Amino acid sequence: MYLGIDIGGTTIKFGLFKSSGALDKTWTIDTNREFDGMFIVNDIEASIGDNVAIHTLKGIGFAAPGPVDGSLVIEAVNLGWQNVDLKAIFEQKFPDVPVTVENDANAAALGEAMSRPDAYQSMVFVTLGTGVGGGVIIDQKIVEGAHGVGGEIGHLQVVEHGVTCNCGQTGCLETVASATGIVRIAQERFKTPTALIKDTMTAKVIFDLAKDGDAFAVDVIDYVTDVLAKALQNIAVIIDPDAFVIGGGVAKAGSFLTDQLKAKFDKIAFSNTRNIPIELAILGNNAGMYGAYHSVKKEVEA
């Protein structure tokens, strides 16, 4: 059995997997963020003890919400953690059980890549949520990069003289294609707000209006998908992946989003990269848990 554990700011998800890859059982515990998250590690240990026969455990994979260097969680603002070495901690608690640690977006990318009927060799995962995140998979491995920044697709520079991003730079993809970016663009362009949108402007409302043919919303989404398609084109000529996979809350717009994106991508794609499919994520909030499992299984079986 393998454990995939996704540590989030509100809940911690556990998935117990058979070596065949079948999910045997899954459960969650609340994340206790008191005192800089100092109880989290012991809570996880106790929950493993309650739910798993330790002698059957071949490995534990973690997904953590922050930059990871090797097995060190450098900083996880949502947990209150700084420099927590999960591998060292858990290999001390369970001496014969190998441990891997991945950044949660990277783990989600690996989970999505490995969970298709034919697992992708290479894939680029883009999450459009409150921010824009992602992960790059090459040869079924996460591209972490020399500084742990591989796959930070949200900070592709896509707008000249753009607004300031959370990262401190300007014009990043995150300022356009995140849920907050979409609302910001709509608000900027909205000269005469109607009651319909004024008080309830969310990315979902804008997409719903666009689906109904509202000219204003169509225009906003048209701009967002233009920018996103160009970003994917730039990635395509570097990675040439088997597929792009789009996840996160904004991807709930479904094929309305991916069809538009694919049509625009195809128009600007270089050579055979226009054959790259743009798909929707299939694992939802479980992607990180699946990826954590695949990461440790790969390490153990390598």
φ/ψ (deg, to 5) at 242: -60, -35
Identify the CA nearest to 86 among candidates 149, 5, 2.
Answer: 5
Angle at 99 between CA 98 and CA 101, to 5 degrees: 160
Give me the least distance between CB of 220 and Zn ion, in Å please: 21
Give me the least distance between CB of 172 and Zn ion, in Å please: 3
Strands 81-85 and 72-76: what pairing? antiparallel
Please identify, using beta-carbon distances, which residue of 123 and 132 lies nearer to Zn ion: 132
Cβ burial, residue 30 (10 Å; 0-12/13-18/19+): exposed
Please identify, using beta-carbon distances, which residue of 11 and 169 lies nearer to Zn ion: 169
Residues 287/58, Cβ–Cβ less than 8 Å: no
Give me the least distance between CB of 160 and Zn ion, in Å please: 14
- Residue listed under structure tokens 């999505």: 112
Ranges assigned E (strand) in the chain: 2-7, 11-17, 23-30, 59-64, 68-69, 72-76, 81-85, 99-103, 123-128, 132-138, 141-142, 243-247, 278-280
Identify the CA nearest to 287 among candidates 153, 137, 178.
Answer: 137
Residues 292/61, Cβ–Cβ less than 8 Å: yes
Distance, in Å, from the CA atom of 187 to the CA atom of 299, rounded to the nearest integer, reads: 47
Give me the least distance between CB of 124 and Zn ion, in Å please: 18
Give me the least distance between CB of 293 and Zn ion, in Å please: 30
Please identify, using beta-carbon distances, which residue of 98 and 129 lies nearer to Zn ion: 129
Give me the least distance between CB of 291 and Zn ion, in Å please: 23
Please identify, using beta-carbon distances, which residue of 184 and 252 lies nearer to Zn ion: 184
Give me the least distance between CB of 156 and Zn ion, in Å please: 9
Query: Which tokens sit at 25?
Result: 């059982």
What angle do the packed helices 215-239 and 255-268 form, to 10 degrees?
Answer: 60
Name the β-bridge partners of 247.
127
Distance, in Å, from the CA atom of 206 to the CA atom of 216, rounded to the nearest integer, reads: 9
Please identify, using beta-carbon distances, which residue of 21 and 162 lies nearer to Zn ion: 162
Give me the least distance between CB of 167 and Zn ion, in Å please: 3
Please identify, using beta-carbon distances, which residue of 168 and 213 lies nearer to Zn ion: 168
Please identify, using beta-carbon distances, which residue of 167 and 237 lies nearer to Zn ion: 167
Query: Phi-psi bin for 280: left (phi > 0), alpha (psi -120 to 50), beta?
Result: beta
Please identify, using beta-carbon distances, which residue of 176 and 245 lies nearer to Zn ion: 176
Residues of the shown chain interacting with Zn ion in the complex, contacts defined by CB under 5 A: 155, 165, 167, 169, 172
